[in-house]
Structure 1
Amino acid sequence: MSSVRLVSGVFSSARKRRLRLEAEASQAVLLATSRRTRKWGGSVPMHRVILRDREGAWAELVKRYFAEQPMFDDATFRRR
C-alpha cells in the first residue's frame, strides 16, 4: 500500500492502473505457484500404471476354487 501512495503523485491515472494490475497479477502468480497442497485429489505426477487383466484373474480364481470341479480339493483349499 505504501508503494502505491508513492506512485500516486508521480504517474498518470492510466499508468497507475497498469502498475496496480501488474502488481496484482504478479501476486496471483506467486500464490498459484507457491501452493503446496492440492486443491483436490487426482493422479500423482509420474505415477506408473500397471495394466492388469482383472476379469481374467477373477475367472481363474473361480475356476480354481469355486467351480463344480475345483482344481484343488478341500484339504489344499484350507491349507492355502
Structure 2
Amino acid sequence: MLNIRFEQWEALGLNLGLAAIFFLIGMSIRDVLNKGNVPPFGRFIVWLVLFLGCAGFVAKGLIQLFWEGAGIG
C-alpha cells in the first residue's frame, strides 16, 4: 500500500517539477526576447520551439497513460 502511494506521489512531483521548469524557462526566454529587441519572426520561432518541447512531454505522458491502461507497459 505504501509503495503504491509513494509511486503516485513521485509521478506527481516529477510532472509538477517539469511544469515549473518549463514555466521558468518561458519566463526567462520572454525576458531575453524583450531586452534583445528580437524581430517578430525570431520570437515566433523561439516560442514555437518551446511549445513543441512542452508538447513532447505531454504526448509522452499521454502515450504512457494509454499504454499502461491497455496493459502494454
**Interval containing the TM-score (normalised by the shorter chain):** 0.3 to 0.5
Going by fraction, where is helix more abundant, 1 or 2? 2
The TM-score with structure 2 as length reference comes to 0.45
Identify which of structures 1 and 2 has the higher relative contact order when contacts are C-alpha pairs closer than 8 Å and 6+ apart: 2
Between Structure 1 and Structure 2, whose CA radius of gyration is higher? 1
